Amino acid sequence: MGMGTRTIAVTVAAILVAAALVGGGIWYFTRAEGRDTTETADTARAEDPDQTATISYQRLTGPDRTMARDGRGAVLAVFTDGARTVLVNGPNRTFREPKATTAAINTQAWIRLAPEPWHQGDERAIWFAPWFDQARADRTPDVLAIATDYLIDAPAEEDAKGVRFRGDASFGPVKSSGVGRKEQSDFYDYLGVPWTFPGAPTTQPAPDRYGAVDCSGFIRLVYGYRMGIPLLGTNEPGPGLPRRAYAIAESGPGVELVPNKRKRATAYGTLQPGDLVFFEIEDGPDQLDHAGIYLGLDDAGHHRFISSRERIDGPTFGDVGGTSLLDDGGHYSTAWRAARRL
């Protein structure tokens, strides 16, 4: 199925991604404060760049992290120990996928990548102040915006070299049987460019997979090719994103938030937008086989994620072939097993 031609007989309305944190903005911070107030390790202060308030840095646990607040107590950002992804609160945005869901999500969360994994006390590091000032003012596409660059009918765009780097993506070519679609389409297949991974010969894209990404290929396209996290060509542990979902969950960069206990996960309060979520939906219970990016709470208060799926033929946060939810008792909800923050 060609780019932008996927046909879905479902109507939609607006999609608003969770304001602030843990898919729920103020809700997340209120909950986190209530749980972690007695666990504060230290507080540092620095002048706010706009000189209207003071920034304080509060230590919290579950996971270990540093929360930046302005002088009025409003949360500015969250930095998680061992992770490069930073949640920076900014202007409200609305994401929609009208052909796949009637859900609505609105978010103040902007997910940025710090130059290195966070460590306690890094607010005093040389790199931090200029990076944080820039991140707070940055309105270029972040992780969430980039992830939605591949939804149904998303407009295509080429870079200066003529490489189409964004636009409606499919899941993979139709199987030879004519039933279902093939997996194993990676980010370089979508791009249609050769790629050289560390310590390996150059890999060539498959012509019939141009414009396609499977679930882990989608994550590698968003976080690797677009955001700059190093990419690996295998599933072995190493300094970057492995190829398959189970390998990313087990040995990917960042921090394990929800360990795989081989049963349905329910640790919703641990999540924040941008986290990776992993599922067991096809094979045996010992191997995770699907992955997505957590978006936050939708307008019905449900925890919603985006992933590339066969039934809708590409990336979606919609409800075709199963709701894109972690907490409604549906197909993906009961298959959720683990989470990681990159």
The answer for residues whose C-beta is within 8 angstroms of residue 75's C-beta and 6 or more apart is 20, 21, 29, 67, 68, 69, 89
Q: List alpha helices for the chain, DSSP H.
A: 26-36, 128-137, 143-147, 187-191, 215-219, 245-251, 331-335
Q: Is 57:123 a contact under the CB 8 Å cutoff? A: yes
Which pLDDT belongs to residue 104?
A: 85
Stretches in the chain below the pLDDT threshold 50: 1-52, 179
Cα distances (Å, whole numbers) of residue 274 to 43, 83, 179, 293: 26, 12, 33, 6
Q: Is 293:274 a contact under the CB 8 Å cutoff? A: yes
- State the Cα–Cα distance between residues 77 and 56, nearest whole angstrom: 11
Q: Is the peptide bond between 63 and the residue preceding it cis, with omega within 30 degrees of 0?
A: yes
Residue 297 φ/ψ, nearest 5 degrees: -85, 140
State pTM to two decimals: 0.85
The answer for residues whose C-beta is within 8 angstroms of residue 194's C-beta and 6 or more apart is 188, 202, 203, 204, 205
Q: What does the DSSP 8-state code read for residue 123?
A: G
> Could you give the domains of the chain?
26-139 (no CATH), 149-341 (3.90.1720.10)
Numbers of helices and strands, H then E, in the chain:
7, 16
Residue 120 CA to its chain's centroid (Å): 23
Q: How many CA atoms within 13 Å lie on the side-chain side of 294?
A: 36
- State the Cα–Cα distance between residues 108 and 22, nearest whole angstrom: 11
DSSP assignment of 180-219, as one string?
SB-----HHHHHT--EE-TTSPEEPPPGGGTTB--HHHHH
Residue 305 CA to its chain's centroid (Å): 8
Q: Is 56:75 a contact under the CB 8 Å cutoff? A: no
- State the Cα–Cα distance between residues 224 and 180, nearest whole angstrom: 27
Q: Is 68:76 a contact under the CB 8 Å cutoff? A: yes
